[in-house]
Amino acid sequence: ACTTPPGVGAGLDVTVVTEGTQQSVKEAYQGYNLFSYHRPVVTAVEPLLSNSAGGLPVTVHGRDFGTTDSNPTVFVGSTACSRTLYVADNKLVCVTPPGGGHDLNVRAQVDGQSSLGLDVFSYLAPTVRYVEPPSGPVTGKTLVTIVGSHFGRSAAARPEGIIAGAACVDTKWVSDSQVECTAPPGADLFARHHVLVRVQGVVSAEVSDAQYTYVEAQGAQGV
């Protein structure tokens, strides 16, 4: 009988040592399966939400992650976490990657073995509440403050403002709830155009309180 040592992995070689002679079980017992440890199991994830820019530490609970750090990887959907930190045999920490979607599968991979995971994680899309000022010259270059939420935890999120379907000339991240957009040149004078924010490919929904109007350049200050 053999008392197995702690470990992880699948398809491991088993060696029987008899009187100083080593003989691989693969060679001695052709047709038999090689030894595997239990695959990792994910039992809980917290928190269950992140903004689309990612960068949020998420704790993954479970078992069989390894008694030592075997460089595990946590996946959110099909994307590996930006960083996976080993804490213990029953706990990992995932720094969420940028992304989008709802009820995404969270799974752990340890030494080639992957858990089934849980379909529990969702990304929060950016939202826009209002803009200031609500109008500017058709020539563009007006500095427009866009207020909302889920624009990212840092400038690394690279949010992008959009006015009337055109990307802002420049978008500056200020906080998770504010960005500054240099308005692009426009058209359709006096029409109300939706203002959106895109973060890592995920675009905010149109809202009536976040619209921008292009006016004649000489009349911009009076509108």
Dump pLDDT digits (tens) for 172-195.
999 999 999 999 999 888 899 999
pLDDT tens digits along 30-48 = 445 566 678 999 999 999 9
**What phi and psi, each to the nearest 5 degrees, are found at residue 27?**
-80, -35
pLDDT tens digits along 99-114 = 888 899 999 999 889 9
Please report where in the chains the tokens 């969270």 appear, as a residue: 106
DSSP single-letter state for residue 153: S
Q: Find the range with the poorest average confidence among 39-43, 121-125, 208-212, 215-219.
A: 215-219
Taking the model in full, what pTM does it have?
A: 0.69
